[in-house]
Amino acid sequence: MEDLLNDIIAFTDKAHGKQTRKYTPERYIVHPVRVLNLCRDYSSDLPVLAAAILHDVLEDTTTTEADIHNFLLTLMPLHAVNKTLQLVEELTDIYTREHYPQWNRSKRRSMEAERLARISGEAQTIKYADILDNSREIIPHDPDFAFRFLKECRNILLLMQKGDPTLRKKAFEVVNNGLQELDTRKRK
């Protein structure tokens, strides 16, 4: 399975191209790999792990569902390909500025949180890992925006209750600790 996951990492890295993380010069692939590593503590299901790696590809690159489908078919049986794509689709934001320019961020994020509450437990588990990784990174790099971002993450976590409960608890802890840390900084 490791060779297969490494092939998916390479595909994802190529899809993200020269993208870097928002606050560091690291190649974007470091984030999907960290999400994968968080998820593997809670699942050994290949489509879940593959989707953890691919979770931002449709949202943040020009790669299409057909591109992912055709690539995955070279590695997995059709049922695993279909499940992986379903999870990636569930994790892809719908309420974006591009599609809903008339809505402000608060409205878009609220609608997205409500949508995420209805996705599968497996997709929610990946989202918990995504929130956990992003929340750890934002506090030291963008404390001004972090408070708003962490409040949005907490709202999502409150609504998403079908994923792995241990990972959800860890994500809540990181988000709540971050909010407390930022609140403490404000008071000084």
- DSSP, res 102: T
What is the pTM (predicted TM-score) of this model? Answer: 0.95
- Give the total number of structural domains in the chain: 1
- C-alpha span between 120 and 130 (Å, rounded): 15
CATH label of the domain that carries residue 98: 1.10.3210.10
pLDDT tens across the length of the chain (188 residues) = 899 999 999 999 999 999 999 888 899 999 999 999 999 999 999 999 999 999 999 999 999 999 999 999 999 999 999 999 999 999 999 999 999 999 999 999 999 999 999 999 999 999 999 999 999 989 888 888 999 999 999 999 999 999 999 999 999 999 999 999 888 877 76
The confidence score (pLDDT) of residue 23 equals 84
State the DSSP string of 134-150.
HHHHHHHH-HHHHHHHH
Which residue range is the domain that position 119 belongs to? 2-187
CA dihedral 66, 67, 69, 75 (to 10 degrees): 160
